[in-house]
A and B are shown apart, each in its own frame.
Chain A
Amino acid sequence: MLDLVLQFLGNTGFALAEWRNLVMIVIGVVLLYLAAGKNFEPLLLLPIGFGVIVGNIPFFKGFGIGVYESGSVLNYLYFGVMTGIYPSLVFLGLGAMTDFKSLLGKPKLMMLGAAAQGGIFFTLLGALFLGFAPKEAASIAIIGGADGPTSIFLTAKLAPHLIGPIAIAAYSYMALIPIIQPPIMRLLTTKKERVIHMSETREVPRKEVLFFPVVGVLLACFTAPSAISLLGPLFLGNFLKESGVTDRLAKTASNAIVDAATIFLGFTVGCSTQADVFLNGNSIRIFILGAIAFSLATGSGIVWAKIMNLFMKDKINPLLGAAGVSAVPGSAREVHIMGLHYDPTNYLLMYGMACNASGVIGSAVVAGILWSFFTVV
């Protein structure tokens, strides 16, 4: 009987734990605190944080328990990450929640969403410089898009062993927008530029709102067919919403489906951060490169807006360039807050959301482009 007790005790998490498990559990608790205590991206950080804790509970390998063990429940749930199912479902919901009217009313703002993708390509160079393999470099660079599902989608295709650190980095930086973006915005703009008022947007007729998802999916997916699994659901969701004849479907997409996908995506990505695969030098390098990517993306958008202003009569507030990353709605909110700080009558939220929307499309297109670079036959 004593042998049985000792055998049981030897198989408990207490006996199997090592310092790395404890470090990861502390990281999970910090994420939970940021989500529940500080309200930083709670919808994402909470399931991820809890997943980090669950994924780092020590267990006896080979019993089909862990996320990387074939046949385990967690492994089946993780299937949605590895195949890109969850990111697609999140994009469906995102489309059903997104109002593109502000973008349609001022299409030139779309260029800021495109320009901010520069952060991805600059980081690609940085990651290659540091010695990462090309596919790993591309997966790390996509953090600059500030789009969690897109980062996970591309990483699952190109460098699945890096999903944990890349997802954590992407979502952490999205949560840290209020800390990362304002200094860059202040650094790259003058006070005079920050108080530029945007001109009124025109009223967008319903037909245009209906045409846009169709035109958008055709053009974007013809350009980067690899992005079909992201942009197809995104524009479908938007068409469900705007058509006015499928309210039930639009509501389901923007509530039940996106919520379920977010829970499983966050939880299983958190579980994938098992200490033995997460705590290494690569993760630290990924976090540093992720911060650089995010900062460069913010800067690229702002600089592009300033360049556009050199040629345009109808000036753009360069702060909006920071909203070209697809962190919806955090970056738009940050731009709005800074605009109000320098001029209490300057409301930039609507324009910021337009840039955010184009950033979502832009980062998905870039993910498709990067993926296609490595699937050329």
Chain B
Amino acid sequence: MEMGIGNIAANNGWAMFVVGYITVLVALAVLAGLISLMPKIIAIQEALNPFGRDAKSGHASKAAAKAETAPPQATLPELNAMAIAAEYGPFIGRLESPFELQKVYAIARENDLEHPHLSIRTLLETGKLSQESSGLFKWNA
């Protein structure tokens, strides 16, 4: 193994240095530029889509928006959302917020509450349960 500056030129080292370093700098600079432009791109996208302008992303927010504009629609015909909220409220209220929906489901099973899946869905769609962060929910009493 012989040392020498000639090894660098002989193996295209200078070219790899310049091309490689400049490429990664430019690539991440472009990515940074695109990130900087994102708020503007999103503003344009929302301007072109007036129906989605006020709707916040996420299922819970959509549900909340729906709840604001339309009367609560019970998912179970024989039950109404108010009754479900009254039944589930005391139990969910004891949970430390924010919580995972699994905990609500577990409470429903432990306390023999009827139709846990459909009831939780109803609570979500009527905005009684809303998403606070990814995968975590809060109870809107």
A interface residue numbers (CB < 8 A to B) = 103-104, 107-108, 110-111, 113-115, 117-118, 120-122, 124-125, 128-134, 137-138, 205-208, 210-212, 215-216, 219-220, 223-224, 241-242, 244-245, 247, 250, 358, 361-362, 365-366, 369-370, 373
Contact B16 A121 (CB under 8 A): yes
A124-B13 in contact given A110-B28, A210-B57, A219-B30 (Cβ < 8 Å): yes
Contact B135 A247 (CB under 8 A): yes
Contact A369 B23 (CB under 8 A): yes
Nearest-neighbour CB distance to chain B for A238, whole angstroms, equals 12
Smallest Cβ-Cβ distance to A208: which chain B residue: B38
- Tell me the complex Cα distance, A128–B5, Å: 8
Contact A137 B11 (CB under 8 A): yes
B interface residue numbers (CB < 8 A to A) = 1-5, 7-8, 11-14, 16-17, 19-21, 23-25, 27-36, 38-39, 41-42, 56-59, 131, 134-135
Contact B7 A128 (CB under 8 A): yes
Smallest Cβ-Cβ distance to B23: which chain A residue: A369
Contact A370 B20 (CB under 8 A): yes
Contact B58 A121 (CB under 8 A): no
Known: A130-B1, A205-B39. 8 other contacts (CB 8 A): A114-B25, A120-B20, A125-B14, A211-B41, A215-B38, A241-B134, A244-B135, A361-B31
Contact B28 A365 (CB under 8 A): yes
Contact A107 B36 (CB under 8 A): yes
Contact A223 B23 (CB under 8 A): yes
Residue from B25, B32, B42, B134 in contact with A207 in the complex, judged by beta carbons closer than 8 Å: B42
- Tell me the complex Cα distance, A286–B3, Å: 15
- Tell me the complex Cα distance, A81–B129, Å: 45
A128-B23 in contact given A107-B36, A114-B28, A210-B57 (Cβ < 8 Å): no
- Tell me the complex Cα distance, A124–B19, Å: 13
Chain B residues, Cβ within 8 Å of A212: 35, 38
User: Which 7 pairs, one residue from A and one from B, show the smallest C-beta to C-beta distance?
Assistant: A131-B1, A114-B28, A107-B35, A247-B135, A110-B32, A107-B32, A244-B134
- Tell me the complex Cα distance, A124–B21, Å: 11
Contact A215 B34 (CB under 8 A): yes
Contact A361 B28 (CB under 8 A): yes
Nearest-neighbour CB distance to chain B for A160, whole angstroms, equals 19
- Tell me the complex Cα distance, A108–B1, Å: 42
Which of A110, A212, A370 has the most CB atoms of chain B within a 10 A radius of its CB?
Answer: A110
Contact A211 B30 (CB under 8 A): no
- Tell me the complex Cα distance, A65–B79, Å: 66
Smallest Cβ-Cβ distance to A247: which chain B residue: B135
Residue from B13, B29, B33, B35 in contact with A114 in the complex, judged by beta carbons closer than 8 Å: B29
Chain A residues, Cβ within 8 Å of B57: 206-207, 210
Smallest Cβ-Cβ distance to B56: which chain A residue: A206
- Tell me the complex Cα distance, A358–B25, Å: 11
Contact B30 A117 (CB under 8 A): no
Contact A205 B42 (CB under 8 A): yes
Contact A114 B24 (CB under 8 A): yes
Q: List 28 A-B contacts (CB under 8 A).
A: A103-B35, A104-B35, A104-B38, A107-B32, A111-B25, A111-B32, A114-B28, A121-B17, A124-B17, A128-B13, A131-B4, A131-B7, A132-B1, A138-B16, A205-B39, A208-B38, A210-B57, A211-B38, A211-B41, A211-B42, A215-B31, A219-B31, A220-B31, A224-B23, A224-B27, A250-B134, A369-B23, A370-B16
Chain B residues, Cβ within 8 Å of A124: 13, 16-17, 20
Which of B1, B24, B34, B135 has the most CB atoms of chain A within a 10 A radius of its CB?
Answer: B24
Contact A362 B3 (CB under 8 A): no
Contact B24 A128 (CB under 8 A): no
Contact B24 A366 (CB under 8 A): yes
A108-B13 in contact given A114-B25, A129-B3, A130-B1 (Cβ < 8 Å): no
Contact A129 B134 (CB under 8 A): no
Chain B residues, Cβ within 8 Å of A224: 23, 27
- Tell me the complex Cα distance, A361–B24, Å: 10
Nearest-neighbour CB distance to chain A for B31, whole angstroms, equals 5
Chain B residues, Cβ within 8 Å of A103: 35
Contact B32 A108 (CB under 8 A): yes
Chain A residues, Cβ within 8 Å of B17: 121-122, 124-125
